[in-house]
Structure 1
Amino acid sequence: MATTRTALLGSVPTDLLVGGAWRPASGGARFDVQDPATGDVLASCADATPEDGLAALAAAHEAQPAWAATAPRERSDVLRAAFEAVTARTEDLALLMTLEMGKSLEESAGEVAYGAEFLRWFSEEAVRVRGEYGVAPEGTTRVLTMRQPVGPTLMVTPWNFPLAMGTRKIGPAVAAGCTMVLKPAAETPLTMLLLGRILEDAGLPPGVLNVVTTTDAAGVCEPIVRDPRLRKLTFTGSTAVGKVLVAQSAEQLLRVSMELGGNAPFLVLEDADVDDAVDGAMQAKMRNIGEACTSANRFLVHASLAEEFTEKLAARMAALTVGAGTDEGVDVGPLITAEAREGVHALVTDAVERGARVVTGGEVPSGRGHFYPPTVLADVPAGSRCLSEEIFGPVAPVTTVADDDEALARANDTEYGLVAYVYARDEGRVRRVAEGLEFGMVGVNTGIVSNPAAPFGGVKHSGFGREGGAEGIEEYLEVKYVGLAT
């Protein structure tokens, strides 16, 4: 196991994985991967061309028949071996994620555990794909249904969870018998490249997983999406890009699953336990430095609790230590890019100009790195951009509501519908509000909803399809009906 930064970076492949071979991009171009805490270059990766993307698709297409015919137990065993290997390399994968993405080592280790669980979960689902057999009503035909792999799949993953966003897609695809072309984000490709090597070592056959790194995501992905050899597209990222990909996918009528943007409301209702709500708010807001689609984006707090909640939340946020994620005791690492930090600060500035009050944070620090302090805004007026746009940073805007009806109406007043959080004690109130929220997921008295055993996904402009849970593998399976004459 690599134990130092230099040894680790030297062990990570940086070429394209196509058809079981690691090779440079066809044009020979490469791009640098930087540490967001310092701006230092960590590694140089192959910068794929559209031709490389199509070569990866050709490899996946060629490998598909044999992989689909592989026994479910063999696919299960590969995933189980990968789970054990990822778990064994927690230290390496956590350091690699921290270096290229910025989060603290402790949080990166948590992502390794979370991401590995998708490999274990779907190793167990691989041997539980079932069909049905029945008698047609007229009695002269037997109805047989079976589930078969969709086929070659293009996977586009984001930078904010470099490991888990990959395993959440790879796990069910491997379990179902689908081959893959995976394009990780250019900001954080190293973790996925190392995972590709781990899966190779775990016994995944050549061509089943192909990894293509590139700075030209649109140029590489569009020809793949429009190619008839592709049968499924799965994307995690912004709603704007997701809409473009969905439009492109219509040409081949691809199976599509989209996990897109969010604008998560965090409701603190009149009977909530404030201390519990603050604990949940810290989880829901500060996981991954706030750079998560599940991050609490706006806090709707009953007027009678707002002052206490805001003061306690601000005290907790102000106590967090900001710094390089590799440093001991750091809670909050840098944002992914300078542009990301500028965008977050612009939302804070807009709210303040409209009348919001900064309780803590709100100032861009000097020096190297893309750091931004944990920030709490009080009395945020309607119309502030931070209430309607995804913040993707450590900023918590607090507004007040008069009752449950107002909280529910304002929570639903968004084009997004990924996740919502509710803090309340009365079971009837919780049920009514949870049922009324127009979101694919609802966390009740908890600030974390993600779980490999549960279906993850949203509604409205947050996308469609589910990842994880028993539903996750269904995204990679087609139902075939066979009518048997008696």
Structure 2
Amino acid sequence: MLKIHDPADDSLVGTMPVTAADALGSVLGSAKKAARRWASTPAAERGAAVKDAARELRERVGELAGLIESETGKPRAEAEESVLAGVGTLEQYAELGPVHRGRSLLGDPGATDLMVPEARGVVVALTPWNDPVAVACGLLGAALVTGNTVVHKPSERCPHTGGLLGTVLSSLLPDGVLQTVQGDGEIGAALAASRDVDLVAHVGSTAAGRSIASATAKTGAKALLENGGNDPLVVDAGVDPRWAAAQAATGAFANSGQICVAVERIYVHQDIADAFLGALAEEAGNRRLAPLVDRRHREGVHDQVVEAIAQGAEPLTGGELPDGPGAFYPATVLVGCTTGMRVFKEETFGPVAPVCVTPDFDQALELAATDDYGLAATVLTASMEHAQRAWRELPVGTVKVNDVFGGAPGGSAHPRRASGSGYGYGPELLDEMTQTKVVHLAPPGP
């Protein structure tokens, strides 16, 4: 039984039964049985069903946002925006699915050669707690419109949110096309190891992603992974330090730092370091943050901060556990950080801004590029030369210049190294959810 407490005041949100491990075979069997029928459904009908599901989801925005707030601590207004983003994603894939296409090839004029996309079959979607509806809608929407059936396991930290999402969407789909199971990592691992699964899509920790990759290497299923990030922010000389500090604070403290592409480590040029750090400390002191998802997660964040201070880092703000109920943690700015500290080497996923002062842009760029992760990076610079160097040299999937959370909709990048593999968003996600078959049609004998 999953027991969920509100991270703001420790009150009980509710309990959720865990799907029994011996019931997974039946769930996957239903998905496999429905797969052929759903794949042969005209693409326009699949798109229409997903569009209907999006319309129904829009009617339940308030209910879903309330669950997100109570289970994860995300403020109500932000939770509503997040659900609406998920609705928009479903609508997008409902339109893109029917126009997803293959290619014809130029071969013998007397024959026809085609590259045809086909549904993979049964997709397992393992989704996170930090943005539970928006992320799930991307994976579920893309899988469904391309003709796959889906078994969805939401994070055990937000089972009520995931359960309601599944109920709303599955009510508009044929039996077996979308099913929701509940449980912790053991249930996710069992799904990933099943030979009845054709693709495992996972957004979450690097450790879980590596376990999934190992499991799918044995079964032959495709692994589509967006895992942890340790995103750098490079602050160059020549920029307004107060503007740069506001950008850094947004990147490090938004959603209490619980964002996959949050700023996790900061390299600032020595020429503006003092002004930047003063402004960043002021930004941090003025922020009233939502709680972290639970006390267990808060302990992990605080452990990294305490360890960094013991190794010589200095807290300009924050760094102490607050009194009172809930899982709150203050916006924390650490100076004097070194690249060997765990707060610089690992994803903190909390409202912590560790800063390293560098003598020049070259060193900052080199340090930013030296990491086991490769999700995203941000560079604040007034130099076009430095901007060009940054996007070319940083080994990450997404580079943002002068806008920490900027970007046009529909962008889809490949995360690198420990951050995962495969497209996770945009039209390209439809390619991940399908497999290509080459067909050669020649006329019969002489």
- Residue 293 of structure 1 aligns to a residue in which SS? coil
Distance 1:112 1:46 in 2: 24
Determine the structure 2 residue equivalent to 1:314: 281
Structure 1 position 234 matched with structure 2 position 234:
no
Determine the structure 2 residue equivalent to 1:21: none
The Cα offsets for residues 428-484 of structure 1, whole Å up to 9 and x where unpaired, read as: 321111110010111111121576511154101111011111211111011111111
* Contact kept? 1:272, 1:425, Cα under 8 Å: yes
What is the aligned counterpart of 2:148 among 178, 189, 194?
Answer: 178
The Cα offsets for residues 187-206 of structure 1, whole Å up to 9 and x where unpaired, read as: 111111111122134x2212
Determine the structure 2 residue equivalent to 1:210: 179
Determine the structure 2 residue equivalent to 1:469: 426
Q: 1:49/1:447 Cα in 2 relative to 1: closer, same or farther (>3 Å)? A: same
Distance 1:382 1:229 in 2: 43
- Residue 400 of structure 2 aligns to a residue in which SS? strand
Determine the structure 2 residue equivalent to 1:8: none
Determine the structure 1 residue equivalent to 2:362: 405
- Which runs of structure 2 are paired with 1:422-441 in the superposition (5 Å)? 422-441=379-398
Structure 1 position 149 matched with structure 2 position 106:
no
* Contact kept? 2:5, 2:11, Cα under 8 Å: yes
- Residue 206 of structure 1 aligns to a residue in which SS? coil
Structure 1 position 188 matched with structure 2 position 158:
yes
Distance 1:32 1:455 in 2: 35
Question: Could you tell which deviates more after superposition, 60-69 or 115-124?
Answer: 115-124
Distance 1:485 1:408 in 2: 55
| Post-superposition offset of 1:115 | 2.1
* Contact kept? 2:57, 2:169, Cα under 8 Å: no
* Contact kept? 1:54, 1:224, Cα under 8 Å: no
Distance 1:168 1:257 in 2: 13
| Post-superposition offset of 1:36 | 1.4
Determine the structure 2 residue equivalent to 1:78: 49
For structure 2, the residue ranges without an aligned partner over 5 or more in a row are none
Give the number of equivalent residue pairs.
443
TM-score relative to the length of structure 2: 0.95
Task: State the identity %.
Answer: 32
Structure 1 position 91 matched with structure 2 position 62:
yes
Determine the structure 1 residue equivalent to 2:310: 353
For structure 1, the residue ranges without an aligned partner over 5 or more in a row are 1-29, 322-331
| Post-superposition offset of 1:388 | 0.5
| Post-superposition offset of 1:93 | 1.7
Q: 1:283/1:117 Cα in 2 relative to 1: closer, same or farther (>3 Å)? A: farther
Q: 1:68/1:375 Cα in 2 relative to 1: closer, same or farther (>3 Å)? A: same
Distance 1:304 1:221 in 2: 49
Q: 1:166/1:123 Cα in 2 relative to 1: closer, same or farther (>3 Å)? A: same
Q: 1:169/1:93 Cα in 2 relative to 1: closer, same or farther (>3 Å)? A: same
The Cα offsets for residues 264-312 of structure 1, whole Å up to 9 and x where unpaired, read as: 0011112333333223223221222101221100011111111111111
* Contact kept? 1:386, 1:397, Cα under 8 Å: yes
Distance 2:189 2:313 in 1: 43
Letter of the 1:379 counterpart: G
Determine the structure 2 residue equivalent to 1:158: 128
Letter of the 1:165 counterpart: V
Q: 1:458/1:46 Cα in 2 relative to 1: closer, same or farther (>3 Å)? A: same
- Which runs of structure 2 are paired with 1:244-259 in the superposition (5 Å)? 244-259=211-226
Determine the structure 2 residue equivalent to 1:25: none
- Residue 4 of structure 2 aligns to a residue in which SS? strand
Distance 2:210 2:368 in 1: 23
- Residue 305 of structure 1 aligns to a residue in which SS? helix
- Residue 147 of structure 1 aligns to a residue in which SS? strand
Structure 1 position 295 matched with structure 2 position 262:
yes
The Cα offsets for residues 84-117 of structure 1, whole Å up to 9 and x where unpaired, read as: 3333332222211010001211221221222222
| Post-superposition offset of 1:182 | 0.8
* Contact kept? 2:170, 2:177, Cα under 8 Å: no
- Residue 33 of structure 1 aligns to a residue in which SS? strand
The Cα offsets for residues 160-204 of structure 1, whole Å up to 9 and x where unpaired, read as: 112122112101001111101111111111111111122134x22
- Residue 304 of structure 1 aligns to a residue in which SS? helix
| Post-superposition offset of 1:314 | 1.4
